Amino acid sequence: MTTQKSIIVASILLIVTISQSIGAKEATVTGLPGHELGDSTISLSLGMLIPLFFQDFSGNYYPGNSSLGGTGSIFWSAYLNNSIRLGVEFGGAFAYPPTQNGDMFWMIPITLKATYIFTISRFEIPVFIGLGVDLATYNQLFDILFVAKPGFGIFWRFDANLSFGLNVTWWFNLEFQTSKKPAIMSNYTDVSAALMYYF
């Protein structure tokens, strides 16, 4: 075999070997072979809370009465199959009222969260809803609210164990009627950056 032919054969073998190596690595990331019943994730997120509006049951709307705030959460979930996760999220949020009198408005939502994941190559698009209670406090007042938190996100799989992304969530809080106040629905949204670990 001539030197030229030897170089061509060696080059082809090198290209095939590299391609197989890259393909095997890509399969472990995008094929998600471990996503089955019982596999788990844990996620940490930090972001911005945006007050939207209030609504009563007569159909009247009122503007939000607090400033932009912050939010964070920790979320554990387990896979029911390759595309569905069910878990629990524990979060917190704060915002200042417009009077800026030093009394912050705090919320601590605790929700059961169901997620469906669409997968496109290295990207995952979770669509989710959380239902639970929201512990709210302001100016020495305390209330327990019903909360629903639908939303969606987009995550990039760094490797088989880590992904990074963004979540957009709508907070729908129901304040129940009491002898001192009517029932009212408060609405917020948050945009948060998140880190997710798969195990």
Lowest mean pLDDT among 24-33, 140-149, 170-179, 190-199: 24-33
pTM: 0.73
113 and 92 in a common domain:
yes
Which residues, including other chains, have CB under 8 Å from residue 69's CB and lie 6 or more apart?
48, 49, 51, 93, 94, 95, 96, 105
Domain span at residue 14? 1-30
Structural domain tally of the chain? 2
87 and 17 in a common domain:
no
pLDDT in tens, 84-113: 999 999 999 988 776 556 677 889 999 999
User: Could you tell me what percent of the chain has a pLDDT over 90?
Assistant: 42
The pLDDT of residue 124: 93
The pLDDT of residue 72: 95
Helix (H) or strand (E) holding 8: helix 3-30
pLDDT in tens, 103-154: 778 899 999 999 999 988 889 999 999 999 999 887 777 788 899 999 999 9
Lowest mean pLDDT among 40-54, 60-74, 114-128: 60-74
Q: Which CATH number belongs to the domain containing residue 165 in this structure? A: 2.40.160.20
The token duo for 53 is: 């509006």
